C-alpha cells in the first residue's frame, strides 16, 4: 500500500514534470521557429546578396538576392558548394583569379573583415558581375575561424558611371598638363633657336675656328634630347608602357636625369638640393623614363610645397640613395617645406586628389607614381607633419644581376696649340651640366689650360695626379658633390691641398660664404655666371694659398649626413623597444651565449651531413638576430639556412665561416661598445 | 583579479625572453616550453588564457600541437602561431589558429596581441 501510493505519487510528479517540460520545449521551439523564420525573412529582404560560409569556405546560407543576382532558381543549387566557385578576385595572375590575394587575406585575418573589395561573382550562365565585396570572419568561442559572412554589391551601374567620369577628368587633366609641358619645352627650344642663329651667323662670316661649331651643335642636340624626354613624359601620363623599355637601370643616373629639368626651378625658388648618394648602387629593373617621371613628380611636389614658405628660411630638399637589407635600393626625398595634415596624407595617393589650386595640378601625379612604383614591385611611403616637412621613401628591389658601372668617368678638354701655351695656368673645372661646362670653356679656354671633371669624384682623382693652379667647382653634382670633393682634395699632404678653390653657388649670403670657407673653400661665385664675374674671381684667387681657417675643420658640414656608423646592430631601436638598458644587455648576453653553442652544433652537424639540424639552428640564429636588430648577422644566418634547406651542405662551411665572422663582429660590438659602456656607468 | 596566464612554446632564446618581458610588463604570467612535446604536456595539465606556439620546433610543430589539442580538448583558449614566414597562412587559419605573427615580432605587435586577447 505504502509502496503503491508512493509509486503513484511519483508517477504523478513525473507526469507533471514531463508535461511542464513538454510545454516549455514546445514554446521554445515555437520561439526558435519564429526567430528562424524572422531571421530568414530579414535575410531575404536585404537588397544586397549575402552569402555565409563555413570554415572551409563552403556556402552554408544565402539570401534571395544571391539567387536573383546570379540567376539561380533554387538555393539548393548553391548550398554546399565552395564560395570560390562563384566568387573571384579581379587581379589575374597567370589565369588564376583567386578571390583573395595573400595580402587581402592577411587583412581579413588581421582586422576580422575586409571592406569594399573589388571582386567578381560568376552567374549561373557564366557571366561576370563586378561586385564590391565585404566580408567579416565568423569566429568560434576560442577565436578560431568558423566561416565568412559575405555581402556583395552589384557594381555594374556604378562602374559605368565611374569610368565616364574618370575619362572626362582625364581629358581635363591632359589639357592642364599640355600647358605645363609646353612651358617646359620653351626653354630648351629657345636655346636651340639661339644656338642655330649663332651657327648660321658664324657660317655666314666663315668662322670655323676651334671646336665652337661642334660645341654649338652638341648643345642643340642636348636640348633636343631634353625636349624628347619631356614629351616622353606625356606617354607616362597615359601609362602606356612599352615592354621593350624595361631594362636594368642605374638609379643614380635616373636621378641625375630627373634633376636636369628641374635645376632651374630649384635655383629660382632658392631651394637647396642636398644629394647624398653612394658611389654605386645595384641596378634595378624597370623603365627609365617612367622612373624619371616618378622622381620628377616627387621633387616638383616638394618644390610646390615651398610656396608660401618664407625665403628667410633655409629651404632644402634632401635626396639620399642607399642599399637597404642588401636587397632594396632606397631613395628618400625629404624637404623642410610646409608638410601636410594627416587627412591630406591619407588621401595623397588617391586619383584626382589635389591640394593645389584649380588648374595648377591634376591630382594625378601621386596616384600615377604609386602605380608605376607598384609596377616596379617597389613601395612608397610618406611621412609628414604640418609645418614639419615631408619625407617620401621609395624602395625598389635590387636586380638580382647587379652590374656596376665604372665609377669614374673623365672628360678632358685641353685647349689647342699646346706649344705656344705651355705656360698657361692650369684650371680644373668641376661641373656636371653640359651647357654650363661649355659656357665656361668658351670663356676661359683661350687664356687658361682648362681641364674638366664631370663630378666630384673625377675631380678628386684628377687632383691626385695633376697639380692645378685653381679649381672651380659646382656644389651639387652626381656621384660626389663639390664640398666632399674639396674635403678630399684638401687632405693633408695631398698634391693640391693648398690650391685655391672657388665654388659656384646660388646661395651666397654672408653666412654661406663663412660656412664654405670653413669647409676649405676660398671664394664663392654667385650663379648665374657671367664672363666678367668669372674672370675677376679667378684673378682674385689664383696664386693664393689656402690655409685652413680653423683646425679640425670639416666637422660642421652642412651637406653630409652624420656619419653612419657601421655598427652590426641597431642598438638604439632595440633599446627603445625594451625601454630598459639592463634588460637589453642581458638579452644580448644571453643571445651571444646561445649562438656560441649553436655555432658549435652547426659545425658538428655539417661534419655529419645533418642538414636538418643545420637548417634549424641557422633558422634560430636568424630569428634571434632579427629580434635584436642585427641585420648583417641575420643575412648571414639566412644564407646558411637557405643552403641547408636545399639539402646542400657543400657550401655549408663557407657560409658558416661567414656567419661566424659576422657573429664575431656582433659579439665584439656588444662586448666592447655596449657592455663596456655599461661598465663605465656602474 | 586573477593574473592572466599564457603558454609560449618556442625553442629560440631571444624570442622567449622578449615575449616574456613584454607580457610580464602587463602583469601577465608567461610559462615557457622549449619544445613542442613539453608544450603539449603542459597544455594537457594546465589552463591558459592564451596559447602561443612557434610554428617550427624540435619535437612537435605548432600545427601538430593544435591538431592534437583540438581532437582531445574542447575548451581551448585562442591559439596564435609565430612563424618566420607566412606561407600556407590560409591553411593555418583554417586549422584553428586565431592569428599568425611573423618574426621578428616587435613591441607594438605584442601590445596589440595583449590588448586583443588578454584584456
Rounded distance between C-alpha atoms, residue A76 and residue A450, angstroms = 88
Q: How distant is the Cα of A333 from the closest Cα of chain B, in angstroms?
A: 27
Highest averaged pLDDT of the listed ranges A156-160, A553-557, A599-603? A599-603
Q: What angle do CA A342, A361, A346 make, to 5 degrees?
A: 15
The helix-helix angle for A288-305 and A365-375 (nearest 10°) equals 150
State the best of B16, B62, B104, B108 to mutate against chain A, taking most chain A CBs within 10 Å. Answer: B104
B104·A577 Cβ contact <8 A? no
In sequence order, what are the residues at sequence separation of 6 or more whose Cβ sits closer than 8 angstroms to the Cβ of residue A245?
A: A287, A288, A289, A290
- Kindly list the distances between the CA atom of residue A247 and the CA atoms of A230, A251, A269, A279, in Å, as whole numbers in the listed order: 20, 12, 35, 21
Show the DSSP H helices in A112-211 as ranges. 156-204
pLDDT band per the 50, 70, 90 thresholds, residue A214: confident
**Contacts of residue B105 in chain A, CB cutoff 8 Å?**
627
A626·B58 Cβ contact <8 A? no
Mind listing the pLDDT tens digit for each residue in B8-27?
999 999 999 999 999 999 99
A145·B93 Cβ contact <8 A? yes
pLDDT at A513 over 60: yes
- Model-level pTM? 0.38
Q: How distant is the Cα of A55 from the closest Cα of chain B, in angstroms?
A: 6
Continuous segment of H or E residues that includes residue A322? strand A315-324
Q: How distant is the Cα of A334 from the closest Cα of chain B, in angstroms?
A: 26
Mind listing the pLDDT tens digit for each residue in A374-409?
878 888 888 888 888 899 999 998 876 433 333 333
E-strand spans in A482-565? Answer: 501-505, 523-526
C-alpha cell at A636: 648571414
Question: Mean pLDDT over residues A188-194, rounded?
Answer: 78
Residue A69: how many CB atoms within 10 A of its CB? 17
Residue B77: how many CB atoms within 10 A of its CB? 21
Rounded distance between C-alpha atoms, residue A479 and residue A227, angstroms = 25
A131 contacts A121 by C-beta, under 8 angstroms? yes
B21·A583 Cβ contact <8 A? yes
Q: Does B107 touch chain A (CB under 8 A)?
A: yes
The ipTM (two decimal places) reads: 0.90
Beta bridge partners of B6: B30, B50
Rounded distance between C-alpha atoms, residue A97 and residue A520, angstroms = 62
Q: Which residues of A295-327 are buried (b: 16+ CB within 10 A; e: fewer)?
A: bbbbbbbbbbbbeebeeeeebbbbbbbeeeeee
A482 contacts A473 by C-beta, under 8 angstroms? yes
Helix %, strand %, coil % of chain A (to 5): 50, 15, 30
pLDDT at A507 over 70: no
In 3D, which of A522, A209, A530, A170 has the Cα closest to residue A351? A170
Omega prior to A528 cis, within 30 of 0: yes
End-to-end CA distance of chain A: 94
Maximum Cα–Cα distance for chain A, whole Å? Answer: 150
**Contacts of residue A109 in chain B, CB cutoff 8 Å?**
89, 93, 99-100
Burial of A561 (0-12, 13-18, 19+ CB in 10 A): exposed
Cell 647624398, located at residue: A276
- Kindly list the distances between the CA atom of residue A379 and the CA atoms of A341, A389, A421, A477, in Å, as whole numbers in the listed order: 21, 20, 56, 26
pLDDT at A523 over 50: yes
Please state the separation of Cα A579 from the chain's center in Å.
30
Rounded distance between C-alpha atoms, residue B63 and residue B65, angstroms = 5
C-alpha cell at B109: 605587435
Q: Does B91 touch chain A (CB under 8 A)?
A: no
Mind listing the pLDDT tens digit for each residue in B66-113?
888 888 777 789 999 999 887 878 888 888 888 899 989 999 899 999
Residue of B7 and A417 predicted with greater confidence: B7
pLDDT band per the 50, 70, 90 thresholds, residue A560: very low
pLDDT value for A475:
83
Nearest to B12 among A142, A144, A620 (CB): A620
Show the DSSP H helices in chain B as ranges. 13-24, 36-45, 62-72, 89-94, 107-118
Cell 653640359, located at residue: A434
Rounded distance between C-alpha atoms, residue A480 and residue A489, angstroms = 12
A109·B78 Cβ contact <8 A? no
Question: Mean pLDDT over residues A439-449, rounded?
Answer: 82
If interface means Cβ-Cβ distance under 8 Å, which residues of chain A face chain B?
55-56, 100, 102, 105-106, 109-110, 139, 142-145, 577-578, 583, 587, 590-591, 594, 616, 619-620, 622-624, 626-628
A142·B98 Cβ contact <8 A? yes
Report which DSSP code applies to A208: -
pLDDT value for A555:
39
B14·A102 Cβ contact <8 A? no
Omega prior to B104 cis, within 30 of 0: yes
pLDDT band per the 50, 70, 90 thresholds, residue A133: very high
Cell 546560407, located at residue: A61
Nearest to A142 among B11, B77, B107 (CB): B77
In 3D, which of A316, A325, A384 has the Cα closest to residue A355? A384
Mind listing the pLDDT tens digit for each residue in A570-593?
888 898 888 888 889 999 999 999
Residue of B111 and A313 predicted with greater confidence: B111
The helix-helix angle for A434-444 and A212-238 (nearest 10°) equals 170
pLDDT value for A400:
64
Any idea how long chain B is? 119
Nearest to A627 among B15, B77, B90 (CB): B15
Q: Does B86 touch chain A (CB under 8 A)?
A: yes
Chain A / chain B CB contacts < 8 angstroms:
79
Mind listing the pLDDT tens digit for each residue in A1-16?
444 445 455 555 555 5
**Contacts of residue B17 in chain A, CB cutoff 8 Å?**
587, 590
Nearest to A623 among B77, B94, B104 (CB): B104
**Contacts of residue A628 in chain B, CB cutoff 8 Å?**
14
Nearest to B17 among A110, A142, A590 (CB): A590
pLDDT at A556 over 50: no
C-alpha cell at A224: 633636343
Rounded distance between C-alpha atoms, residue A326 and residue A618, angstroms = 19
Report which DSSP code applies to A96: B
Report which DSSP code applies to A396: E
Least confident stretch, A276-280, A507-511, B39-43:
A507-511
Cell 514546445, located at residue: A26
pLDDT value for B51:
95
E-strand spans in A107-162? Answer: 113-122, 128-139, 145-154
* Residues within 8 A of A (CB atoms), B 8-37 only: 11-15, 17-18, 21
Rounded distance between C-alpha atoms, residue A513 and residue A36, angstroms = 84
pLDDT value for A369:
79
In 3D, which of A398, A355, A407 has the Cα closest to residue A377? A398
β-sheet with A449-453: strand ranges across: A449-453, A426-430, A470-474, A501-505, A523-526
In 3D, which of A188, A252, A216 has the Cα closest to residue A409? A252
Amino acid at each position: 500500500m505504502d509502496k503503491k501510493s508512493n509509486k503513484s505519487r511519483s508517477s504523478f510528479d513525473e507526469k507533471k514534470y514531463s508535461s511542464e517540460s513538454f510545454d516549455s520545449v514546445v514554446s521554445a521551439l515555437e520561439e526558435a521557429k519564429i526567430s528562424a523564420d524572422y531571421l530568414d525573412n530579414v535575410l531575404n529582404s536585404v537588397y544586397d546578396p549575402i552569402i555565409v560560409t563555413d570554415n572551409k569556405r563552403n556556402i552554408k546560407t544565402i539570401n534571395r538576392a544571391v539567387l536573383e543576382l546570379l540567376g539561380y532558381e533554387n538555393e539548393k543549387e548553391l548550398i554546399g558548394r565552395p564560395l570560390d566557385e562563384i566568387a573571384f578576385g579581379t587581379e589575374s595572375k597567370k589565369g588564376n583569379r583567386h578571390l583573395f590575394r595573400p595580402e587581402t587575406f592577411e587583412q581579413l585575418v588581421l582586422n576580422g573583415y575586409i571592406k569594399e573589395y573589388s571582386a567578381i561573382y560568376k552567374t549561373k550562365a557564366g557571366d561576370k558581375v563586378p561586385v564590391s565585396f565585404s566580408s567579416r570572419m565568423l569566429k568560434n568561442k576560442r577565436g578560431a575561424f568558423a566561416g565568412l559572412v559575405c555581402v556583395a554589391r552589384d557594381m555594374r551601374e556604378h562602374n559605368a558611371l565611374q569610368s565616364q567620369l574618370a575619362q572626362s577628368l582625364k581629358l581635363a587633366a591632359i589639357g592642364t598638363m599640355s600647358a605645363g609641358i609646353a612651358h617646359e619645352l620653351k626653354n630648351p627650344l629657345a636655346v636651340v633657336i639661339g644656338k642655330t642663329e649663332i651657327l648660321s651667323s658664324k657660317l655666314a662670316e666663315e668662322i670655323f675656328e676651334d671646336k665652337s661649331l661642334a660645341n654649338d651643335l652638341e648643345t642643340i642636340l642636348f636640348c633636343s634630347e631634353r625636349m624628347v624626354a619631356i614629351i616622353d613624359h606625356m606617354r607616362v601620363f597615359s601609362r602606356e608602357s612599352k615592354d621593350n623599355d624595361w631594362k636594368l637601370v642605374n638609379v643614380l643616373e635616373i636621378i641625375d636625369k630627373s634633376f636636369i629639368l628641374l635645376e632651374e626651378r630649384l635655383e629660382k625658388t632658392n631651394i637647396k638640393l642636398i644629394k647624398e648618394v653612394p658611389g654605386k648602387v645595384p641596378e634595378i629593373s624597370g623603365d627609365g623614363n617612367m622612373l624619371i617621371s616618378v622622381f620628377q613628380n616627387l621633387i616638383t611636389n616638394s618644390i610646390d610645397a615651398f610656396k608660401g614658405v618664407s625665403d628667410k628660411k633655409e629651404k632644402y630638399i634632401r635626396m639620399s640613395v642607399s642599399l637597404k637589407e642588401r636587397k632594396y635600393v632606397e631613395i628618400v626625398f625629404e624637404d623642410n617645406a610646409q608638410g601636410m595634415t594627416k587627412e591630406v596624407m591619407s588621401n595623397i595617393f588617391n586619383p584626382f586628389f589635389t591640394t593645389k589650386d584649380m588648374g595648377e595640378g591634376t591630382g594625378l601625379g601621386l596616384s600615377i607614381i604609386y602605380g608605376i612604383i607598384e609596377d616596379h614591385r617597389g613601395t612608397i611611403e610618406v611621412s609628414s607633419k604640418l609645418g614639419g616637412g615631408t619625407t617620401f621613401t621609395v624602395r625598389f628591389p635590387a636586380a638580382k644581376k647587379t652590374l656596376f658601372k665604372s665609377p669614374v668617368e673623365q672628360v678632358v678638354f685641353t685647349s689647342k696649340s699646346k706649344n705656344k701655351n705651355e705656360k698657361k695656368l692650369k684650371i680644373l673645372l668641376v661641373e656636371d651640366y653640359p651647357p654650363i661646362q661649355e659656357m665656361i670653356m668658351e670663356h676661359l679656354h683661350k687664356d687658361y689650360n682648362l681641364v674638366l671633371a664631370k663630378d666630384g669624384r673625377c675631380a678628386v682623382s684628377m687632383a691626385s695626379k695633376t697639380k692645378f693652379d685653381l679649381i672651380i667647382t659646382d656644389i651639387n653634382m652626381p656621384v660626389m658633390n663639390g664640398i666632399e670633393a674639396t674635403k678630399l682634395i684638401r687632405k693633408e699632404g695631398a698634391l693640391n691641398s693648398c690650391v685655391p678653390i672657388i665654388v659656384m653657388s646660388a646661395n651666397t649670403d654672408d653666412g654661406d660664404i663663412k660656412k664654405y670657407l670653413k669647409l676649405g673653400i676660398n671664394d664663392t661665385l654667385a650663379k648665374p655666371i657671367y664672363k666678367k664675374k668669372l674672370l675677376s674671381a679667378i684673378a682674385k684667387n689664383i696664386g693664393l694659398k689656402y690655409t685652413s681657417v680653423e683646425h679640425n675643420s670639416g666637422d660642421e658640414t652642412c651637406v653630409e649626413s652624420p656619419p653612419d656608423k657601421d655598427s652590426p646592430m641597431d642598438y638604439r631601436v632595440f633599446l627603445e623597444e625594451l625601454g630598459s638598458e639592463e634588460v637589453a644587455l642581458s638579452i644580448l648576453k644571453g643571445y651571444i651565449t646561445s649562438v656560441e653553442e649553436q655555432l658549435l652544433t652547426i659545425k658538428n652537424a655539417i661534419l655529419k651531413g645533418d642538414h636538418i639540424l643545420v637548417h634549424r639552428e641557422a633558422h634560430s640564429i636568424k630569428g634571434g638576430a632579427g629580434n635584436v636588430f642585427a641585420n648583417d648577422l641575420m643575412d648571414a644566418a639566412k644564407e646558411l639556412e637557405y643552403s641547408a634547406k636545399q639539402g646542400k651542405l657543400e657550401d655549408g662551411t663557407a657560409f658558416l665561416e661567414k656567419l661566424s665572422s659576422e657573429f664575431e663582429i656582433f659579439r665584439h660590438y656588444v662586448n666592447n661598445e655596449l657592455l663596456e659602456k655599461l661598465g663605465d656607468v656602474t | 583579479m586573477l593574473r592572466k596566464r599564457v603558454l609560449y612554446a618556442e625553442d629560440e632564446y631571444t624570442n622567449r625572453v622578449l615575449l616574456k618581458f613584454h607580457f610580464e610588463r602587463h602583469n601577465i604570467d608567461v610559462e615557457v616550453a622549449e619544445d613542442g612535446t613539453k608544450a603539449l604536456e603542459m597544455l594537457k595539465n594546465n589552463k591558459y588564457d592564451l596559447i602561443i606556439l612557434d610554428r617550427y620546433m624540435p619535437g612537435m610543430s605548432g600545427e601538430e600541437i593544435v591538431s592534437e589539442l583540438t581532437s582531445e580538448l574542447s575548451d581551448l583558449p585562442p591559439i596564435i602561431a609565430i612563424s618566420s614566414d607566412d606561407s600556407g597562412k590560409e591553411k593555418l587559419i583554417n586549422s584553428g589558429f586565431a592569428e599568425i605573427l611573423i618574426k621578428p615580432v616587435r613591441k607594438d605587435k605584442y601590445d596589440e596581441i595583449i590588448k586583443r586577447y588578454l584584456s
